[in-house]
Amino acid sequence: MTYCPVHEAIQILQEKWTLHIIRSLLDGPKGFNELSRAVGGCNSATLTHRLEQLEARQLLTKTVISYMPPRSSYALSEAGVALGGVVDAIAQWGLQYLHPDAEGRFHVGG
Amino acid sequence: MTYCPVHEAIQILQEKWTLHIIRSLLDGPKGFNELSRAVGGCNSATLTHRLEQLEARQLLTKTVISYMPPRSSYALSEAGVALGGVVDAIAQWGLQYLHPDAEGRFHVGG
């Protein structure tokens, strides 16, 4: 198979929690707990693994603030910040096409 | 938790293969086999399941062309076509930030 940058970009962004993490960090660096609350529903082990992967992919950087107690801060890299355009497009679509049902859950067509 | 249309949009789009399927159908309706080749690497049972889910979500429509042999055509709904903006943003990012290594695989920073 031939590799394609667009196919690969989708491969990266379809990994669970990635877009939630990027969205959350777009308004500034966050510590692990704050990020965990913002992402919502992702357990700590999974979030840790995904953050390591995004760091290895150069989409974010991790800064250790203290070792005891362990505290770190996560910030988007330049390439990560540039994903703001993707998050904006998703937000625009969601606001236009997803409507709440009687329970407040959003669906296409409402 | 409060529901948010942007959070829900990310939930939908982070499901594996969804963005590949949307991207593939943006240039027109496709049959199952053609779609399967375009998406690449997704087995038939998984692709069938995902297509059913996207149909239930009103992102695409399925038209049965013949029952014997079974042939169907998949096309994006209006809300599905509107995801073209998201795919465009992803493509723009991928083309700008992902660079091939010696083996032709794409990474941030090349």
Ranges of chain A whose pLDDT falls below 70: 1-2, 110
For the full predicted model, state whether its pTM sits above 0.90.
yes
The candidate with the shortest Cα–Cα distance to B46, out of B12, B18, B11, B68, is B18
Determine the Cα angle at A5 with ends B104 and A76, to 5°.
110
Q: The domain spanning residue A63 has which CATH number?
A: 1.10.10.10
Counting the structural domains of chain B, the total is 1
Q: Which chain B residues are Cβ-neighbours of A109 within 8 angstroms?
A: 58, 79
Residue B15 pLDDT grade (very low, low, confident, very high; cuts 50, 70, 90)? very high
Q: Which value does ipTM take for this structure?
A: 0.93
Q: Do A3 and B97 touch (CB under 8 A)?
A: no
Residue B98 lies in a domain: no
B33 burial level (CB within 10 Å; 0-12, 13-18, 19+): exposed
A88 closest CA partner among B92, B81, B99, B39: B92
Per the domain annotation, does B85 fall within a domain?
Answer: no
Helix, strand, coil shares of chain A as percentages rounded to 5? 50, 20, 30
What was the pLDDT predicted at B2? 58
Strands of the B60-66 sheet, one edge to the other: B30-31, B71-76, B60-66
Determine whether the interchain pair B96/A82 forms a contact, defined as Cβ–Cβ distance below 8 Å: yes
Q: Is residue B90 part of a domain?
A: no
Question: Which tokens hold the place of B62?
Answer: 């399925």
pLDDT digits (tens, 9 = 90+) for B40-75: 888 999 999 999 999 999 999 999 999 999 899 999
- Within-domain flag for B51: yes
Q: Which residues of B touch A1 (CB under 8 A)?
A: 40
Residue A107 to residue B3, Cβ atoms within 8 A: no
Q: Is A52 on the interface with B (CB under 8 A)?
A: no
Range of the domain at A29: 5-108
Pairing of strands B30-31, A106-108: unpaired
